[in-house]
Structure 1
């Protein structure tokens, strides 16, 4: 039996995640996930985690002013937070990864051309007898939400899914075909 063992949202893109026991899942993904982007005051450009790794260590509070101040301190430059109107870079609504995939990556076992860095997944699943990479094209029920698994991410850990039916997902929920 597959189950949800972890839920995380990343309110400010590139910053540390917030672990939850339960999350509402709307048409665009988990409530509060990737709602804000960091923008450099000097250039007006979005600051991305791959160019500013210090972002990943910034724990956010949900207060945009306080979060912008914490990010500015970590980066050593003035920034502001701007709402993300759409998923950045064509990202999917929900990122799922199995505990087993994380364990394989930690052991250095990843497919050729794939990265093993932190996948920043929304849902971590325990899949004792399955591999989520085989789920592309399938619909899954997690709690009261139904997800349509659409593709593998570029970094190869886990899968991306779109929301077919909004609902709520909680740690301990079973993952079943829908």
Structure 2
């Protein structure tokens, strides 16, 4: 394996559709980063899941870890009562881990962005610094970061970066080498 770059940032999204929280390190499990998308918001009247694409203001609300406070904050933004529900299994919609490089974010800022994607907030778990590579070429390859091993499965349709599954659980830390 050769060093291809480094981990520039780690993010988890404790409540789906709400703001993320930066972490210095995280453990990757078979279902993704510990604590990532562990909760979802549901409409208190209909019990339907509330999604950020229909309520974009939620992505600016930072979860506090206090369920009652988080419910009040989301209710205030939405103008209707919502409650938190624990997610069973993986809370990720597409893959266990979403990787994106700073270079992809820069390209998106310059106009090279898939339709429906946000260059400002790609909602990725791991932000990479890849001075000499493009993560989109990694599909089908194995990537080692820290003590974890990932298999890159595909590029997202409407997001930057790539999706990966966890082959070997382990811990990753900001500054870790990215090995291919």
Q: What TM-score do you get using the length of structure 2 for normalisation?
A: 0.92
Alignment gaps of 5+ in structure 2: none
Matched, 1:173 2:176: yes
Counterpart-to-counterpart distance in 1, 2:130 and 2:66: 35
Aligned-residue offset at 1:90: 4.2
What whole-Å deviation, never above 9, does each CA across 1:63-103 have from its counterpart, x for those lacking one?
22221121112212111111111435742000000000000
What whole-Å deviation, never above 9, does each CA across 1:28-85 have from its counterpart, x for those lacking one?
1001000111000111100000000111110101222221121112212111111111
Contact 1:119 1:155 in 2 (8 A): no
Count of residues paired in the alignment: 176
Q: What TM-score do you get using the length of structure 1 for normalisation?
A: 0.93
Alignment gaps of 5+ in structure 1: none
Counterpart-to-counterpart distance in 2, 1:103 and 1:60: 27
- Give the secondary structure class of the aligned counterpart of 1:74: helix
Matched, 1:54 2:60: no
Name 1:9's counterpart in structure 2. 12
Deviates more, 1:154-163 or 1:7-16: 154-163
Counterpart-to-counterpart distance in 2, 1:139 and 1:30: 17
Question: Measured at CA, do residues 58 and 116 of structure 1 come closer, stay the same or move farther in structure 2, by a change above 3 Å?
Answer: closer
Q: How does 1:33-48 map to 2 (within 5 A)?
A: 33-48=36-51
